Amino acid sequence: GCGRYTELSADGTRLALKHINANGKQAPAVLDLKSGELTLLSGYVDQCGQPTVSPMGDVAYTIGRQLHLMMADGKKQIALDYYTNIVRFSPDGRFLAWSDADGRPVLFDLQTMQQKCLSEQMDLYNPKWSPDGSKLLYEQGNMTLYVIEIASGKMYCLGNGSNAQWMDDERIIYTRSEYRNGDIFFCE
């Protein structure tokens, strides 16, 4: 009943997730880890994105081609030209990161409500912010990892890897596997 990606709130009390019912319909949801109460953020639909929670408690998610924002100043819907599955708040809550329809990394400024493509590199997904918000880590479908420096726009290829997480502002921990003839040859 839960999608592949989840996100723990900064205070560790809520888990944002995509809830999937027995019919395969999806709803963005937040699970209160203390009470066990699951709160659906919308009704069940054919296509919703993974919700994200800012450090201030704001929530963002997609339903089809609509970005939904639940902010302190109210709810907003923003039309997108495409569906995106995973959106992530920056650590300061000022920006969202996601991938466009071709998998190009996008930065969305919540103050100006403008989006900016960060690179022409395609097939990127699952953005993760460095703790200081200066960099984004993306995975590519072929198990390659990339880091983008927001201020300079520089992109670095880290090579083969998956399941990556920031340890601090400079270090990333990830799994790297090498396959030969369909078998795992090396894993670290």
Least confident of 88-92, 119-123, 139-143: 139-143
- pLDDT at residue 143 tops 90: no
pLDDT of residue 183: 61
> For the chain, what is the mean pLDDT?
92
- pLDDT at residue 184 tops 60: no
pLDDT of residue 180: 66
Residue 22, both tokens = 């027995």
Residue whose C-alpha is closest to residue 87's, from 110, 106, 115, 112? 106
pTM of the model: 0.89
Residue 188 CA to its chain's centroid (Å): 25
Percent of the chain with pLDDT over 70: 94
